[in-house]
Amino acid sequence: MKNKVISGDSLSILRTVKNETFDLVITSPPYFQQRNYGNGNSGIGNEKTEEEYLENLMNIFRECVRVTNEKGALVFNIGDKYINGGLSLIPYKFAIRAVEDKKVFLINQLTWSKLNPTPRQEKRKLIQATEPFFIFAKSKNYYFDLDSYLTHLDNFNKNIRNKPSDKLGKKYFELINSSDLTEEQKINACKSLNEAVSAVHNGEIDSFRMKINGIHKLAYGGQDGGRNNQIKNNGFTVIKILGNRMKKDIIESPVEITRDNHHPAVYPIYIIQELIKLLSKADDFVLDPFCGSGTTCIAAKNLRRNYLGIEINSEYVDLANERIKNTGFIQELFI
Instruction: State the Cα–Cα distance between residues 36 and 192, nearest whole angstrom.
Output: 60
Report how far Cα 279 is from the mean position of its chain's Cα atoms.
9
**Are residues 71 and 215 located together in one domain of the fold?**
no
Buried residues in 306-315 as b, exposed as e (16+ CB within 10 A): bbbbbbbbee
Residue 32 domain flag: yes
Query: In terms of domains, do 180 and 207 share one?
Result: yes
Residue of 326, 286, 320, 302 lying closest to 5 (CA atoms): 320
Q: Are residues 199 and 88 in the same domain?
A: no
- Give the domain-ending residue among 245, 261, 277: 245
Would strands 105-114 and 236-241 be described as parallel, antiparallel, or unpaired? unpaired
Looking at the fold, whether 228 and 88 belong to one and the same domain comes out as no
Instruction: Clarify whether residues 97 and 233 are in a common domain.
Output: no
The CA angle 283-286-288, to the nearest 5 degrees, is 160
Looking at the domain assignment, is residue 19 inside a domain?
yes
Kindly state whether residues 84 and 133 are assigned to the same domain.
Answer: yes
Tell me, yes or no, whether 332 lies in a domain. no
- pTM, rounded to two decimals: 0.76
| Shared domain check, 319 and 238 | no
Using CA of residue 7, residue 11, residue 16, residue 21, what is the dihedral sign?
Answer: positive
| Residue 201 covered by a domain | yes
Q: How many angstroms separate the CA atoms of 23 and 15, rounded?
A: 17
Domain that holds residue 221: 162-245
> Do 142 and 291 fall within a single domain?
yes
| CA distance readout (Å), 57 to 11, 60, 111, 270 | 10, 5, 20, 25
According to DSSP, residue 244 is labeled: G
Amino acid at 184: E
Which pLDDT score, from 0 to 100, does residue 331 have? Answer: 42
- Is there a single domain that holds both residue 16 and residue 141? yes
CA–centroid distance for 139 within its chain: 17
pLDDT digit string (tens) for the chain, length 335 residues: 899 999 999 999 999 999 999 999 999 999 998 765 555 445 788 899 999 999 999 999 999 999 999 999 999 999 999 999 899 999 999 999 999 999 999 999 999 999 888 777 678 889 889 999 999 999 999 999 998 998 876 554 555 556 778 889 999 999 999 999 999 999 999 999 999 999 888 878 878 999 999 887 765 444 445 778 888 899 999 998 876 556 889 999 888 754 544 544 578 999 999 999 999 999 999 999 999 999 999 999 999 999 999 999 999 999 999 999 887 544 443 33
**Which of 223, 245, 267 is at the close of a domain?**
245
Coil, strand or helix: which one is 57?
A: helix
Structural domain contains residue 155: no
The verdict on residue 335 lying in a domain is no
DSSP string, 155-199: HHHHHHSPPPPTTTTHHHHHHHHHSS--HHHHHHHHHHHHHHHHH
Residues 78 and 210 in one domain: no
Look up the CATH number of the domain holding residue 260. 3.40.50.150
User: Residue 22 phi/psi, 5° resolution?
Assistant: -105, 150
Measure the CA–CA gap between 152 and 119, rounded to whole angstroms: 29
Answer yes or no: do 187 and 288 share one domain.
no
- How does DSSP assign 195-211, residue by residue? HHHHHHHTTS-SEEEEE
**CA 283/CA 304 separation, integer angstroms:** 6
Structural domain total, the chain? 2
Would 27 be classed as within a structural domain?
Answer: yes
- Taking alpha carbons only, the member of 330, 220, 323 closest to residue 262 is 323
Taking the C-alpha atoms of residue 216 and residue 220, their distance in angstroms, rounded to an integer, is 12
226 and 182 in a common domain: yes
Of 318, 276, 279, 275, nearest to 301 by C-alpha is 276
333 occurs within a structural domain: no
The domain boundary residue, chosen from 245, 270, 290: 245
